[in-house]
Structure 1
Amino acid sequence: MKTLCNSLKILGDPPNDDMPINAGLLFFNEAPERFFESARIELTIMPDPAGDGMIEYEFKGPLDIQIDRAIGFIRSNVIACMTLKHDDTPVADRICNYPLRAVEEAVVNAVYHKDYTSPEPTRITVRPDRIVIQNVPGPDRSISDADISGFNMASTRYRNVRIGDLLKYRGLAEKRCTGIPNMVRSMRGNDSPDPILETDAERSFFRVTLMINPVFVRKKGQICIDMQNNSDISLENRILALLQANPSLSMRELLNALGYYRNASNVYAMVRSMVSEGTIEYTIPDKIRSGNQRIRLRNTE
């Protein structure tokens, strides 16, 4: 095991060569938040500026798993695409409210460059007309404000070098300062507005805002595909989202998270249907009514 850890370069230097470095704890540990309070992604769906109908999710676990689950949630519950046909050509255009590649680059960038000694988690906020991804701190001061506004985020100083290496091994990052350019290229390729990059004079945060494609906005300024809220988002998708954010849940935990306190027969029926379809599974399949019974996403590997 030590030989494997050494090959992954996740152990300290002598005399601490039997102790994992921070990147090792963040990637090869089921609960890195035990060591780093902010090692999580908080995702909030906010259909109303006042917070009415707000739904909050947390994604924990190894950093690469957090990224996979958060992006998977956005892919399943936020991103929508449409096909536009034209009278003068048989070729149709396919566009999305948000290009998935841009979302992936923004989320990976935030997790990669975050300060894990800070108590602030990586935050993703989904509003009716935008997705906002924020991490702390902001860009290194060697990157000027003009560089930021010009999407030129190349730096000679790298934060979290080993985290970047491990993300690269997982195929989630390239470590060539390509994240922001890829994000911009993806937004422009989808005919979406350029991403908005923000920080402050102290470089205490970095915020990326991806605006919705204008085609998805009605003439009256309303969102073409309305933001899903707690009452109209499909029950199946809500259950899947909760299980993406949690390794397993008891029925009581699931009902509480869904906001059901009575008349929950539809939830039980949905869970049975999803088990039958193979989407999810019981942890104790031979004893369905066991007091220790839990449900989880089905392992398809």
Structure 2
Amino acid sequence: RVQPTMQLPFSIDYLLTSGRVESERLEFKAGWNLVSRRYRNRRIGGFLKELGLTEGRGTGIPKIMRAIRRNRSPRPKFETDSQRTYFAATFRIHPKARPGMRQPESQPESLTASVMRILAGGPLGKAAISAAMRQKKVSGRLNAVIRALVAQGMIERTIPDKPNSRLQQYRLTPTGRAYWAQHDRNG
């Protein structure tokens, strides 16, 4: 989750082009309160939702604006043309951001690190890994991360001949243990 005082050393500039932006669906109100009633770009919306900057489904601009005010960041620039064929939002770099500042770890990388950390304690099945991360069920993202770690040779199946066995567990390989020991030492 992004902290409200986080300062990012880069700009986010995105353009949503999905035909005409309906005037009754998009309104600029006093104080830059923007109301959008139709979800336009799932990829950007999903990314902002994962960061905790939106509450989902095209309703996040007010929440983003509150976070920007708390962070004392420059106000974003919203643009559209007279025909309302596009909507663009430019988020400027925070004035206190310095070149070379560490960027936040992306969600897939942090999930990978979580899986490696959990498996450093011993072999576990997907459901146990998910439970150790306080998730109610095994997510698609967790499945993808486990598949990627197996493909990279960082973890292995305890029953390699039966990948779909209900008793299947995963453990760190020697390569994975060496990587995790180095990662754990460096923080």
Q: TM-score range by the shorter chain?
A: 0.3 to 0.5
Q: TM-score, normalised by structure 1?
A: 0.30
Greater relative contact order (Cα < 8 A, sep 6+): 2
Q: TM-score, normalised by structure 2?
A: 0.43
